[in-house]
Amino acid sequence: MTKHTEVYVYEISDENIPAFLDIKEKLIAEAHSLPGLLASATYRSAATPNLFMDRMHWRDAAAAEEGNRLFQSLPTTPAFLALMAAPPKLAGPMDLIAGE
């Protein structure tokens, strides 16, 4: 079994950042109900304050695929997606080959 990582990069418009920060922890908590999700973290760019990155570690590629499908039905997902300036970009998927 190979751990599978997905990295999403997205922008939140300046006026939506306070609302985004209010719901992000709730969304992460909801996401942890997704089967096969091992860890999830959100990063904010130090150089571009409205640029964010989500890193999600999954049990395997099949769990990631199913998790992404189920993510759409989480209660906070519509509000989260509505705050984005554009759809998120997938900068992955990647399989862990060394470390951790």
Q: Domains (ranges, CATH) in the chain?
A: 13-85 (3.30.70)
Q: Rounded mean pLDDT of 6-35?
A: 95
> 35, 41, 77, 80: which is closest to 58 by C-alpha?
35
- Say how many Å lie between the first and final Cα of the chain, rounded: 15
Residue listed under structure tokens 């705050």: 83
Q: Rounded mean pLDDT of 56-75?
A: 94
Q: Rounded mean pLDDT of 55-74?
A: 94
- Stated pTM of the model: 0.86
Q: Is 1's pLDDT higher than 60?
A: no
